[in-house]
Amino acid sequence: MTGGQPTADNRRAATPSPRGFWGEAWARFQRMPLAMAGLVFVGLMAVVALLAPAIAGTKPIVCRYKGQIYFPCLAYYGRSLEPVVFSQDKFRGEYPRNLREKDPESWAVWPLVFQDPYRAVRPDEWPGRPGNPARDQGRPGRLNLMGTNQNGVDVFAKMVHGTLVALLVGFVSMGIAATIGVTVGSLAGYFGGWVDAVISRITEVVMCIPTLVLILALLAIVEKPTIWKMMAVLGLTGWPGISRLMRAELLRLRSAEFVTAARAVGASPGRIILRHLLPNALAPVMVPITFGIAAAILTESGLSFLGFGQPPPSASWGSLLNDARSNLKMWWLVFFPGAAIFLTVLAFNLVGEGLQKATDPRLREARK
Amino acid sequence: MPLLEIQDLVTAFHTPAGRVTAVDGISLSIERGMTLGLVGESGCGKSVTAMSVLGLVAAPGRVERGRILLEIDGDPVNLATLPESRLRRMRGGRVGMIFQEPMTSLNPVFTIGNQVAEAVRLHRRASWREARARALELLRLVRIADPERRLDEYPHQLSGGMRQRIMIAIALACEPELLIADEPTTALDVTIQAQILELLADLRRRLGMAILLITHDLGVVAETCDEVAVMYAGKIVERAPAVELFANPLHPYTIGLLAARPEHRAGGKGPLAAIPGMVPQPRDFPAGCRFHPRCGHARKPWCMAEQPQLRELSPGHFVACHFAGELDAARPTEPADR
């Protein structure tokens, strides 16, 4: 697929490929091993994040209890999804023993690793199994793949569930930022004049707000800081870069011949922006969006590390690093989340860089 | 009444450096089914005239004076004062337009079929399927080989001539009564030029539409136009039926242009004749006749002081020159100093 087939490549150059712009870009992207590695890593993370409750947890994926089928593991996505029967029957989150004692007929499919990201597993919770060790006793081992923290909470479970937090922070905050940035930037770029002047000044004002300080200030005011509020702040302050790029891109494209041609067949401004300009301007803004995801993940980790993240029962990578501050001898509290943050940010940056190269108009011209 | 009548059109650009008048009081008219050639050197205001007709002049330019009357169902409608929303229905609906650069006039991220179908759907109620069927019909109309396959191809897969055919197909999507062709063959090589011109002439006959053909190539004009208007520095200097103009040019600029054609050299050899000097910038048009600094016949004080008006010298033949018809007597001398 990479270098070894010059003939195949020549043939492709001789007869222009029938693929569209994104098809071309994807073909070029595939020829970049580092970028592909980054993309595969991001893909793996997404799988881990979505399947987190099935990979590590103390609630059955599926179980049959008193003649009914339940999916208790969904409770990890949202507490309200936990079936009411189990709290009525006083399970207190300890499924294995309770299931066996309260309904001998019951059966359950368990997550791959029986560990919980929010609490330590107690002795005999799973009949015959010891509880989690706490403090610096919780080295990585058979029961705790990546060790435990001071309170005996399993690090592996936290890491797995933290993947979802990291990706959510990255995608949701950049989703907000991209929506605002693309809209605002294209309006400024297309209409120009006073619209551009007003939007550009607002953009500059927002750019001057230091994100981290704003978040700290907000967390001081807000009663219950959650990652959602953090994402909102990251999104609402992260759009100026995207907006400015979008504006520049539309300024350039606005005078393109095909835009005049579209106007000459009677297309309206809205149609021209949405159909003719955005698809052409999207490639360049995909790059800062990808880098922005990495930056957002890093910011969230940083805040959690400083202790300004979601309050304690949280499964963010940064909060693990925060745990490590009190006892540096527990190296596993530094190594695993640190490596995960590093690799994730690296992966997103590699993907962004690959995207940049794959959609570079100069390279595109060269292939014609 | 004519299909399109432009009366005293003035289009100016308000730049930080001052007001620049690109089109300065021109009047034109095109009858149904006829082809009018608008000829002149680069920068004389041909394209701005064309853009003014459809209200496509980009800021900071705007139409400042004059009327652009398009006959719609027997009534003249002034496009110059039409609100944008109604003007949009004219564009592509009643008046189609094609451009100089077929390489960049198509959106690179959509397929041909998609873009032709969009033009259809902009003015007609049609499902995507119907629009696509119409697109196929249009590609056949502009004689594109293997149209089914081309519908799903992207612009970069087509040659320049093909793309210009696609642009023509898009312009014809809603069967316009007037087609404005802004240097449609300038970016193409000679053999393709001939094909495109032949296609335009054929389409005009079959669809009965009028064409406003903008070009700097007198050869193109001779082959395709019924009437010709010669523009110089924002003004029309001569207007006549094509046959008459080529047989009996009256304005020194037209005479110069005709003499500058390559095929006009004696025996097809020797250096090309040229008009000395360059088209003045709109910012500093000379006083009097705008052509006088380059004119071999310019005489003081008339040419330097007074702008000549268009006069009808013979039926249908208009010229804006103080000495039109008397030029043979005055032998060409060196261009006047001022």
Judged against a pLDDT cut of 80, whether residue A132 lies above it is answered with no
If DSSP codes are grouped into helix, strand and coil, which group holds residue A145?
A: coil
Contact A257 B105 (CB under 8 A): yes
pTM exceeds 0.80, yes or no: no
In this prediction, residue B111 has a pLDDT band, given cuts at 50, 70 and 90, of: confident
Residue B68's nearest CA partner among B151, B145, B10 is B10
What pLDDT, on a 0 to 100 scale, did the predictor assign at position A4?
A: 41
The share of chain A scoring above pLDDT 90, in percent, equals: 17
Q: What is the mean pLDDT of residues B162-173?
A: 89
Q: Each residue of B198-255: pLDDT tens digit?
A: 888 888 888 889 999 998 888 888 888 999 999 988 889 999 999 999 888 888 888 8
Residue A273's nearest CA partner among A180, A182, A190 is A190
CA–CA separation, A265 and A289 (whole Å): 34
CA–CA separation, B146 and A207 (whole Å): 53
Q: What is the mean pLDDT of residues A205-212?
A: 86
Residue B8's nearest CA partner among B62, B75, B64, B77 is B64
If DSSP codes are grouped into helix, strand and coil, which group holds residue A211?
A: helix
Q: Each residue of A60-102: pLDDT tens digit?
A: 888 888 888 888 888 888 778 888 887 787 777 778 877 777 8
Rounded to whole angstroms, what are the CA distances from A241 to A65, A73, A348, A350, B3? 53, 40, 17, 19, 51
Q: What is the mean pLDDT of residues B35-63?
A: 87
In this prediction, residue A332 has a pLDDT band, given cuts at 50, 70 and 90, of: confident
Q: Is A276 on the interface with B (CB under 8 A)?
A: yes
CA–CA separation, B45 and B39 (whole Å): 10
B90, B105, B123, best to mutate vs chain A, most A CBs in 10 Å: B105
Of residues B133 and A150, the one with the higher pLDDT is B133
- Please state the φ and ψ torsions of residue A87, each to the nearest 5 degrees: -80, -35
Judged against a pLDDT cut of 70, whether residue A14 lies above it is answered with no
Q: Each residue of B182-197: pLDDT tens digit?
A: 888 887 888 888 888 8
B153, B156, B159, B175, best to mutate vs chain A, most A CBs in 10 Å: B156
CA–CA separation, A196 and B293 (whole Å): 43
What residues of chain B lie within 8 A of the CB of A268, using their CB? 88
Mean pLDDT score across all residues of chain B: 85
Q: What is the mean pLDDT of residues A311-325?
A: 79
Across the interface, of B88, B109, B171, the residue whose CB is closest to A279 is B109
Q: Which residue of B has its CA nearest to A13?
A: B157
Please name the residues in contact with A230: beta carbons below 8 A apart, sequence gap of 6 or more. A169, A173, A215, A219, A300, A303, A309, A310
In this structure, which amino acid lies at residue A351? V
Q: Report the phi/psi class of residue A332: left, alpha or beta, with left for phi > 0 and alpha for psi in -120 to 50.
A: alpha
Across the interface, of B99, B154, B173, the residue whose CB is closest to A260 is B99
What pLDDT, on a 0 to 100 scale, did the predictor assign at position A81?
A: 81
Interface of B with A (CB under 8 A): 54, 56, 58-59, 88-93, 96-97, 99, 101, 104-111, 118-119, 122-123, 152-154, 156-157, 167, 170-171, 173
Contact A266 B58 (CB under 8 A): no
The share of chain A scoring above pLDDT 70, in percent, equals: 90
Q: How far is CA A368 from the centre of its chain?
A: 36
Judged against a pLDDT cut of 90, whether residue A26 lies above it is answered with no
What pLDDT, on a 0 to 100 scale, did the predictor assign at position B289?
A: 87
Of residues A211 and B26, the one with the higher pLDDT is B26
Of residues A328 and B53, the one with the higher pLDDT is B53
Judged against a pLDDT cut of 50, whether residue A12 lies above it is answered with no
Judged against a pLDDT cut of 50, whether residue A189 lies above it is answered with yes
What pLDDT, on a 0 to 100 scale, did the predictor assign at position A84?
A: 80
What pLDDT, on a 0 to 100 scale, did the predictor assign at position B327?
A: 65
- Please state the φ and ψ torsions of residue B238, each to the nearest 5 degrees: -155, 140
- Please list the alpha-helical segments (H only) found in A192-271: 193-208, 211-221, 227-237, 240-254, 257-264, 269-271
What residues of chain A lie within 8 A of the CB of B56, using their CB? 260, 263-264
Judged against a pLDDT cut of 70, whether residue A287 lies above it is answered with yes
Q: Helices H, strands E: what count in chain B? A: 11, 12
What pLDDT, on a 0 to 100 scale, did the predictor assign at position A8?
A: 41
Rounded to whole angstroms, what are the CA distances from B80 to A237, A343, B175, B181? 44, 61, 22, 19
CA–CA separation, B316 and B239 (whole Å): 8
Residue A211's nearest CA partner among A242, A240, A237 is A237
Neighbours of B214 (CB within 10 A): 23
- Please state the φ and ψ torsions of residue A285, each to the nearest 5 degrees: -80, -15
Neighbours of B190 (CB within 10 A): 9
Q: What is the mean pLDDT of residues B282-288?
A: 82
Q: Each residue of A142-188: pLDDT tens digit?
A: 777 787 887 778 888 888 988 988 898 899 999 999 999 999 999 99
Q: Which residue of A has its CA nearest to B94?
A: A265
From A1-10, A122-131, A206-215, B210-219, the region with the lowest mean pLDDT: A1-10
Parallel, antiparallel, or unpaired for β B35-39 and B317-319? unpaired
What residues of chain B lie within 8 A of the CB of A21, using their CB? 108-109, 154
